[in-house]
Structure 1
Amino acid sequence: MIKTVIFDLDGTLLNRDESVKLFINAQYDRLNKVVGHIPRENYVTRFIELDSRGYVWKDKVYQQLANEFEITDITWEELLQDYICEMKNNCVPFPNLISMLYELKRRNLRLGIITNGKGQFQMDNIKALGIEDFFDTILVSEWEGIKKPDPEIFKRALKQLNVSPNISIFVGDHAANDVKAAQNAGMIGIWKKDIQWSKVEADFIINDLAELPFVIDNINNNMFKSY
């Protein structure tokens, strides 16, 4: 029987693409006096391009923006600080997030998060989604000193949850950092479909978080039959 479900954050629980769109449009409005000389569409589109879905940290993004758009009335450091402070106010959850977590807790499953990123920044986003209390452990790569796809970060989470990998699920949107890495650590890898990948070799695939309890039922039934 499955005892534990561990999740990625960005692109899995947090709809980061929509969150970033909300944030950068809000930043443009909030700081219009210093970036208003740039057409909104140009500012928004270029930020999203440079951000590369979160794989480029924002110091590099804002340095590039300031250079390209000749932003001189505010420093890139101040733009970065605005991002750090305000991003949490624009967090968009994926549909059925809360109801899915309630259902998993109702089943007495132990839950965790493993996310790459800056420690306090990721925790602020988790708190903004209102989901922190559902989880028995949360590992953020900056604080752990290791990041996905290193199998050690998965093993560390499993040790904290006191559970073996073969009765544990990992759910994520990234083919290598989430699904394959979790499988390499001995876990069942579930891919939450994402547009960046056309095909992923996962144990199971879901389109919506609401599907996860049914997948767990399927896994449990297959485990029972195998005995």
Structure 2
Amino acid sequence: MIKAIIFDLDDTLYYELEHVKSGFRAVSNYISNKYKISAEDFYNQLLAILADEGRGKTFNLALEEFNLPLTEVKALVEVYRQHKPDELNLYHDAKNALKEFSDKYKLGLITDGISIVQWNKIKALGIENRFEEIIVSDDHGMDKRKPSSFPYLKILEDFSVEAEEAIYIGDNPNKDFVTAKKLGLMTIRILRPKGMHINKRLAEEYEADYEIESLDELEEIICQ
């Protein structure tokens, strides 16, 4: 019998690119104020680089494009990490799921990333009080990030439930499911159309037990 549902955050409950764009706005405003460059032009350049190159050297390449010093990279990273999004939006099905399941199951959240970044996302989404427990893995050390067993074991212990009584829902097969499966949790991968990991396919041990395209499908799986 399922007693707990544990969610991932990014691209599971909301569209992560919303946060990226918000951070790019903050960075572009910083550059505009300091160098009198159009914030909109710098922002659009960041988006173009992200689309062409992916993450990694977005700030470096944008600075080069505008002939600005690469010594600014560290400052841009800090602006990005410290910024507080004005508003992020839960996926519609996520909003419904959190409301529907809150009276039936213990709800938990496990998310990886720089602590202040993840907590700012959670606050912008307004979901601090929607879970009985939230684990931002970096609060406990970077070595506690998934696929470490730590966040899963901690939340199971705090909820006083067995692994077989819990579900973990995420989107990233690189790290979300392999340990959860070994521990005995039911694992579900949600396939978000624009999610960062939508096209990733790995060995069976890394894939989830089930795949869904909407959290509206969750009840049917639980009732099987």
Q: Please classify the TM superposition score into its range, dividing by the shorter chain length.
A: 0.7 to 0.9
Q: Does 1:127 align with 2:123?
A: yes
The 8 Å contact of residues 151 and 184 in structure 1, kept in 2 or not, is answered as no
Do the aligned partners of 1:95 and 1:209 also contact (CA within 8 Å) in 2? no
Preserved contact between residue 167 and residue 188 of structure 2 (Cα < 8 Å): yes
- Give the TM-score normalised by structure 2: 0.79
Displacement after TM superposition at 1:14 (Å): 2.2
Matched AA of 1:95 = H
CA distance in 1: counterparts of 2:86 and 2:74, whole angstroms = 19
Tell me how far apart the structure 2 counterparts of residues 63 and 73 of structure 1 sit (CA, whole Å).
6
2:168 is aligned, of 144, 166, 170, to 170
**Could you say which residue in structure 1 is the equivalent of 2:78?**
81
SS in 2 for 1:20: helix
Residue 96 of structure 1: how far off its partner (Å)? 2.2
Structure 2 equivalent of residue 208 of structure 1: 214
Alignment of 1:169-188 (within 5 A): 169-188=167-186
Aligned equivalent of 1:100: 97
Partner amino acid, structure 1, of 2:186: I
Contact residue 3 and residue 168 of structure 1 kept, 8 A: yes
Determine the C-alpha separation between the residues in 2 that align with 1:73 and 1:197: 33
In the aligned structure 2, how far is the partner of 1:50 from the partner of 1:94? 26
Q: Secondary structure at the match of 2:18?
A: helix
- 8 Å CA contact 1:112, 1:138 repeated in 2: yes
Instruction: Check the 8 A contact 2:60/2:70 in 1, yes or no.
Output: no
| Cα contact 1:97–1:209 (8 A) shared by 2 | yes
Structure 2 unpaired stretches of 5+: 193-197
Matched, 1:113 2:109: yes
Distance 1:89 1:39, change over 3 A: closer
CA contact (8 A) 2:94 2:215 kept: yes
Name stretches of at least 5 consecutive residues in structure 1 with no aligned partner: 219-227
How far is 1:123 from its partner?
A: 1.3
CA RMSD of aligned residues (A): 2.9
| 1:116-174 CA-partner distances (Å, limit 9, x unpaired) | 11112211211211111111111112112211011232112211111110110000001
Q: In 2 relative to 1, CA 164–49 (structure 1 residues): closer, same or farther, beyond 3 Å?
A: farther
1:196–1:21 distance in 2 versus 1, CA, 3 Å: farther
Shift of 1:204: 1.5
Shift of residue 65, structure 1, vs aligned partner = 3.9
Give the 3-state SS of the residue equivalent to 1:88 in structure 2.
Answer: coil
Residue of structure 2 in register with 1:197 after alignment: 200
Deviations for 1:37-85, whole angstroms, at most 9, x for unmatched residues? 9565432222466663xxx5xxx65355434543249933432333234
Q: How many residues end up aligned between the 2 structures?
A: 211
Specify the SS of the correspondent of 1:143.
helix
CA 1:48–1:25 in structure 2 vs 1: closer, same or farther (change >3 Å)? farther
Give the structure 2 partner of residue 9 of structure 1. 9
SS of residue matched to 1:6: strand
